[in-house]
């Protein structure tokens, strides 16, 4: 993400003793009111967004209640809407993505923060930032034409041959499915994990490393047993951030998940995700209950990402401040 | 050297090498993507791609001129809608507001920034499509503009706060009113950063697909007006990639190359502008 967390001296409002009228004459009060209106509109838009999602999903919330999340029949013809397969697909693909992306991302972040010289680290970070800017539809394009055929002809048969006794890797190799969607998501979220984790690792005070090394720890021991635990909060923050991205990701998942509402223990099975079903069916939804059920799915997605983003921000800010504060002593 | 120490040194060397491998793998993904797009897109791109309309199914040839223009119109609308709100909102936050109001606005912006793009699409649909009963370019621009607001706001605010207080005090000591100080001293001092922020926001929404699916929708022809559905490059890539026609796949690659090229160029130029103006501090 482009927002950096550098702390700059706050430029608080200069409290003037001039009267309201004199400020108005000089244009200050007008500027204040106009810019306030723009700032307030941001709050208004956000409130309106929550309100629209809530109001727009009233019908299914009253009709199905909690059964909406517990049942798995999605039948627009008989007005039965149960969201379980979509929730399952969203969670499974996100889980696969994190299992693949977290070790790789944190490993790369450790390299960039601890080992690489500043110039190399900054150059690689530049490429990582570019990677984060690649739109999701491009990942989807590569997913459809490269990863799906690769999965179908090589990776899935290989997994079946070696780990086929696990229920995770059973069933025919379609190419599309939970596993493929998870892999594409992993590629998409790795830049976020690297970027934020690197930032947090760099904020760990130098004396922490020096203390560990002076006690006879090897370079890896000082990194893994001292620096990483110190930055733990922020690293978890980066993971939550990545999770929020993975849950809400639409295009790339829609293109490779197979778009079939199934709940299956096999990762080879085609599935569906919340964002994908909204993307596919929203324009075709006939009838209020159908449309509003899709909006309720949007609400679920909103709440999930809201919680995760909030947690992530707290953890990252807390860790960065701890690092900065102790470094000065 | 004891066996134990040798083992620890081996583990250290091995694990540190592995982190290097992780970094290498992660970065090489970018070059893989670029290489593949250039290879596939480069062979399918032609002058027709930029000047012709899509052909009917079954006929080869044609291009995406309407989608390129459509994307341009959508991004223009998004910039006109999103940037002023973000920019002036940031001025309020950095120069006028008290801490409680600033907290609320910042919180709302962060919340908006984290909303999945498909949910932004639903919101724009409810506000800008449903009341008028048809998809439109305006609704698509509105959806993309919504996504530009939080990025512009938060980074502009940060750069405004980065302007040293001495500049503010100097301007005011010369008798300038507050808004004059802002307009003639503070904003010019931070303009590189602000420009970068706007460019990055622009690049981010340029590739957004999900919010356009049910706002701008799509169009196989020239859009006949601002309140009519419009084609856009990202949506075209999506529909062409999942369609079963070989010729459409070829065009999807070409469109992908054009889109990614545009986004990467904007990103690189924006970062170039920034790094020439302000030294980026390293923690």
Q: At a CB cut-off of 8 Å and minimum separation 6, what does A241 contact? A: A1, A192, A193, A196, A308, A309, A312, A316
Instruction: Note whether B241 contacts A141, CB cutoff 8 Å.
Output: yes
pLDDT at B277: 55
* pLDDT for the residue A313: 87
Largest CA distance in chain A: 82
Residues of A in contact with B260 (CB under 8 A): 134-135, 138
Give A211's contacts (C-beta < 8 A, 6+ positions apart). A226
- How far is the C-alpha of A46 from the C-alpha of A309, rounded, in Å? 15
What gap in Å lies between CA A275 and CA B213, rounded to an integer?
A: 12
d(CA A5, CA B162): 12
Residue A10, pLDDT score:
45
The answer to whether residues A186 and A96 touch, using CB atoms and an 8 Å cutoff, is yes
Which residues of A fall within a CB distance of 8 Å from B33? 131, 134, 138, 142
How is residue A74 annotated by DSSP?
A: E
Q: Is the ipTM beyond the 0.85 threshold?
A: yes
3-class DSSP assignment, residue A75: strand
d(CA B240, CA B251): 7
Q: What percent of chain A has pLDDT over 90?
A: 63
Asked if the model's pLDDT at residue A4 lies above 80, the reply is: no
- Count of CB atoms within 10 A of residue B55's CB? 16
d(CA B32, CA A303): 35
Instruction: Indicate yes or no: CB of B234 within 8 angstroms of CB of A135.
Output: yes
Q: Are B144 and B203 in contact (CB under 8 A)?
A: no
Q: Where are the domains of chain A?
A: 22-56, 69-327
Bridge partners of residue B62, in order along the sequence = B54
Report pLDDT for B78. 96
Q: What confidence score (pLDDT) does residue B227 get?
A: 86
As a dihedral over the C-alpha atoms of residue A135, residue A136, residue A142, residue A144, rounded to 10 degrees, the angle is -150
Give dist(CA A236, CA A238) in Å, integer.
5
**Cα dist from A251 to A101, A114, B37, B142, whole Å:** 19, 35, 18, 20
Cβ contact A221–B84 (<8 Å): no
- Report strand pairing: A74-75 vs A80-81: antiparallel
Provide the H-helix boundaries in chain B: 3-44, 47-51, 65-91, 99-114, 117-124, 137-161, 165-173, 178-181, 187-189, 191-206, 210-213, 233-242, 246-277
Domains of chain B: 64-277 (1.10.3720.10)
Q: Please list the pLDDT of chain B residue by residue as tens digits (283 residues).
A: 688 999 999 999 999 999 999 999 999 988 888 898 899 888 888 888 888 888 887 778 788 999 999 999 999 999 999 999 999 999 999 988 888 999 999 999 999 999 999 999 999 999 999 888 889 999 999 999 999 999 999 999 999 999 999 999 999 899 888 888 999 999 999 988 999 999 999 999 999 999 999 899 888 888 888 889 999 999 999 999 998 888 889 999 999 999 999 999 999 999 888 877 554 443 3
How far does B62 lie from chain A, in Å, by closest CA? 20
Give residue A9's pLDDT band: very low, low, confident or very high (50, 70, 90): very low
A10/B161 touch (CB, cutoff 8 Å), yes or no: yes
Query: Considering CB atoms only, which of B26, B146, B256 is closest to A104?
Result: B26
Q: Which of A212, A210, A205, A206 is nearest to A226 (CA)?
A: A212
CA B257 and chain centroid, separation = 16
**Domain over A69-327 is classified CATH 3.90.1150.10:** no
| Average pLDDT over all residues of chain A | 87
In the structure, what pLDDT confidence band is assigned to residue A323 with cuts at 50, 70 and 90?
A: low
Lowest mean pLDDT among A14-18, A70-74, B94-98, B107-111: A14-18
Banded model confidence at residue A79, pLDDT cuts 50, 70, 90 = confident
A1 has a pLDDT exceeding 60: no
- Measure the N-to-C terminal CA separation of chain A; round to a whole number of Å: 30
pLDDT at A137 over 90: yes
Contact residues for A242 (Cβ-Cβ < 8 A; gap 6+):
A97, A98, A101, A102, A105, A189, A190, A192, A193
pLDDT digits (tens, 9 = 90+) for A160-187: 888 888 888 888 888 899 999 999 999 9
Q: How many residues does chain B have?
A: 283
Note the pLDDT of residue B279: 43
Q: pLDDT per residue over A27-49, tens digit each?
A: 788 888 999 999 999 999 999 99
- Find chain B residues with C-beta within 8 A of A130's C-beta: 30, 264, 267-268
Burial class (CB in 10 A: 0-12, 13-18, 19+), B2: exposed
CB contact under 8 A, B238 and A116: no
DSSP state of A19: -
Whole-structure pTM value: 0.89
- What number of C-beta contacts closer than 8 Å exist between A and B? 307
CA A176 to mean position of chain CA atoms: 22
């Amino acid at each position: 993400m482009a927002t950096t967390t550098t702390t700059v001296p706050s430029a608080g409002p200069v409290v003037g003793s001039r009267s309201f009228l004199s400020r108005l004459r000089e244009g200050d009060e007008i500027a204040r009111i106009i810019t306030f209106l723009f700032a307030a509109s941001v709050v208004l838009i956000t409130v309106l967004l929550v309100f629209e999602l809530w109001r727009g999903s009233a019908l299914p919330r009253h009709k199905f209640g909690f059964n909406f999340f517990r049942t798995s029949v999605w039948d627009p013809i008989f007005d039965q809407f149960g969201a379980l397969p979509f929730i399952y697909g969203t969670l499974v693909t996100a889980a696969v993505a994190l299992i693949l992306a977290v070790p790789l991302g944190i490993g790369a972040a450790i390299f960039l923060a601890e080992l690489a010289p500043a110039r190399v680290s900054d150059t690689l970070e530049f490429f990582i930032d570019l990677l984060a800017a690649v739109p999701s539809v491009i990942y989807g394009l590569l997913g459809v034409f490269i990863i799906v055929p690769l999965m179908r002809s090589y990776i899935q048969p290989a997994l079946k041959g070696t780990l086929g006794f696990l229920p995770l890797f059973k069933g025919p190799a379609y190419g599309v499915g939970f596993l493929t969607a998870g892999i594409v998501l992993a590629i998409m979220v790795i830049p976020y994990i690297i970027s934020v984790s690197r930032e947090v690792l760099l904020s760990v005070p130098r004396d922490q490393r020096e203390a560990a090394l002076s006690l006879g720890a090897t370079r890896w021991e000082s990194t893994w047993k001292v620096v990483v635990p110190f930055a733990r909060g922020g690293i978890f923050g980066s993971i939550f951030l990545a999770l929020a991205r993975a849950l809400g990701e639409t295009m790339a998942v829609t293109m490779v998940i197979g778009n079939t509402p199934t709940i299956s223990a096999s990762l080879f099975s085609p599935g569906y995700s919340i964002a994908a079903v909204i993307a596919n069916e929203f324009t075709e939804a006939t009838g209020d209950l159908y449309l509003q059920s899709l909006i309720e799915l949007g609400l679920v997605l909103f709440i999930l990402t809201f919680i995760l983003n909030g947690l992530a921000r707290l953890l990252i800010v807390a860790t960065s401040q701890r690092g900065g504060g102790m470094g000065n002593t | 050297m004891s066996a134990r120490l040798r083992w620890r040194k081996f583990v250290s060397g091995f694990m540190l090498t592995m982190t290097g491998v992780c970094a290498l793998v992660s970065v090489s993904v970018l070059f893989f993507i670029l290489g593949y797009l250039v290879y596939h897109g480069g062979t399918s791109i032609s002058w027709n791609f930029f000047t012709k309309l899509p052909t009917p199914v079954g006929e080869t040839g044609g291009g995406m001129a309407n989608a390129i223009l459509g994307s341009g119109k959508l991004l223009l609308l998004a910039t006109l809608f999103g940037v002023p709100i973000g920019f002036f909102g940031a001025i309020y936050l950095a120069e006028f507001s008290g801490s409680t109001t600033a907290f609320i606005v910042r919180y709302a912006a962060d919340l908006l920034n984290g909303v999945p793009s498909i949910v932004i699409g639903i919101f724009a649909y409810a506000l800008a499509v449903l009341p008028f009963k048809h998809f439109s370019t305006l609704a698509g621009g509105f959806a993309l503009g919504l996504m530009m607001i939080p990025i512009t706001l938060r980074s502009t605010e940060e750069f405004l706060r980065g302007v040293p207080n001495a500049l503010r005090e100097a301007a005011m000591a010369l008798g300038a009113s507050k808004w004059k100080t802002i307009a003639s001293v503070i904003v010019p001092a931070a303009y590189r950063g602000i420009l970068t922020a706007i460019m990055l926001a622009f690049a981010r929404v340029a590739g957004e697909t999900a919010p356009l699916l049910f706002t701008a929708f799509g169009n196989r022809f020239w859009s006949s007006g601002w309140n009519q559905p419009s084609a856009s490059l990202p949506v075209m890539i999506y529909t062409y990639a999942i369609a079963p026609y070989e010729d459409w796949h070829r065009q999807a690659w070409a469109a992908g190359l054009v889109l990614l090229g545009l986004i990467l160029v904007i990103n690189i130029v924006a970062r170039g502008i920034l790094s020439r103006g302000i030294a980026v501090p390293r923690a």
